[in-house]
Amino acid sequence: MPFRFIEHCLSEAFTSMRRHWLMSMAATVSAAISVAIFGLLVLIVLYIRSAVIHESEKVNHMRVYLHNSVTEQQARELQRRIQRWVLVKSVRFVHKDEGLKEMEAAMGDNISLRNLAGGNPLPHRLDVVAVNFEDAVECAKRLERLPGVESVICMADVVRQLSRIFGLVRLCGLTLVIITALATLTLIANAIRLTIYARREAIRIMQLVGATIWFIRAPLLLEGLVYGLIGGAFASLMVYGAHTSLLRLVETNKILLTLFHVAVPNWHFFASLTVVGLIFGLLGSLSAVNQLVRYLS
């Protein structure tokens, strides 16, 4: 019995798609375009998120200058204390002599600051790296309150701007994805409604001869799944093509290569678009079929 039911659903679904091929093609193309737009929006959000995170890695570094009275032993104890913080990725102790050599190397021209100042004027230093740029500002505030800390150099303004940009990107991306998803569901639901309208007399006859509600609605649900599956597969190919084209453009352009960091999603992302199309097809057909159930009731 279940096999005959499945055979009936497949037969009815594909017969309907063949008879109303123009409507079926429109629904499939609509699903493909909608899922492709959905995939491209997600891909753009991934690109921007990757670029922001890539650039933020340059600004989550902080230099913590200690008081001149802080000894090397005290500085190393402070290093171990900070390393235990959740917000901190790594802490490096920089001896004041090493810091002086770095400054002299940066100034060049064989300038000896030790001779000019009559000794080493620099204090010991801790180079702190936050886990991510969003935690850098909070981490800098906590570092400034520690005993023995004279000053903390952190690109706070840059970090705050990156945090705002990242939050705005996530909000806009989520909003656009939701709007596109609703549009996709509406298009598929409308395609199923048109199928129901075209077959309204046949559906009424089946109901009069005793067909169950699932016997009527199952082929329609399967039809929506097919629209979503085929549309999602085509959308996956389109998004993959756009992604590979962008990669070639960036790789062949040195300016873009230095300015633009492209995230490279794995194959799971593109395969998931087919699943997204399938889900959209199911939800869209469910919306239309529920209206049919209310109509038949």
Residues 184 and 221 in one domain: yes
104 & 89 share domain: yes
Tell me, rounded to whole angstroms, the distance of Cα 55 from its chain centroid. Answer: 16
Instruction: Please check whether residues 102 and 186 belong to one and the same domain.
Output: no
Is residue 142 within 8 Å of 91, Cβ to Cβ? no
Structure tokens that stand for 148 in this block = 């023995």
CATH number for the domain harbouring residue 128: 3.30.70.3040
Number of domains in the chain: 2
Structural domain containing residue 110: 60-154
Tell the burial category of 55 from Cβ atoms under 10 Å away from its Cβ (0-12, 13-18, 19+).
Answer: middle
Same domain, yes or no: 43 and 80: no
Clarify whether residues 22 and 94 are in a common domain: no
Longest pairwise C-alpha distance within the chain = 106
The closest of 80, 46, 82 to 264, measured between CA atoms, is: 46
Q: CA 2 to CA 7: how far, in whole Å? A: 8
Answer yes or no: do 108 and 253 share one domain.
Answer: no
Residues 187 and 281 in one domain: yes
Domain edge (last residue) among 154, 185, 220: 154
**What pLDDT shows up at residue 35?**
82
**Pairing state between β 149-153 and 88-94:** unpaired
Instruction: Give percent helix, percent strand, percent coil of the chain, each to the nearest 5.
Output: 75, 10, 15
**200 and 250 belong to one structural domain:** yes
- Indicate if 168 and 21 belong to the same structural domain: yes
Query: Given 154, 187, 215, which residue is the final one in a domain?
Result: 154
Residue 166: phi, psi to the nearest 5? -60, -45
SS3 121: coil
Question: pLDDT per position in the chain (297 positions), as tens?
Answer: 566 666 666 676 777 677 767 777 877 887 788 788 888 877 877 777 776 666 666 677 888 999 988 888 999 999 999 999 988 989 999 988 887 787 767 666 565 655 555 567 788 899 998 887 777 878 888 998 999 999 888 876 666 676 677 778 778 877 877 887 787 777 777 777 777 777 677 777 777 777 677 777 778 788 888 888 888 899 888 888 888 887 777 667 655 555 455 566 777 888 888 888 888 888 888 877 776 656 555
Closest by CA position to 25, among listed 177, 187, 179:
187
256's enclosing H/E stretch is helix 254-259
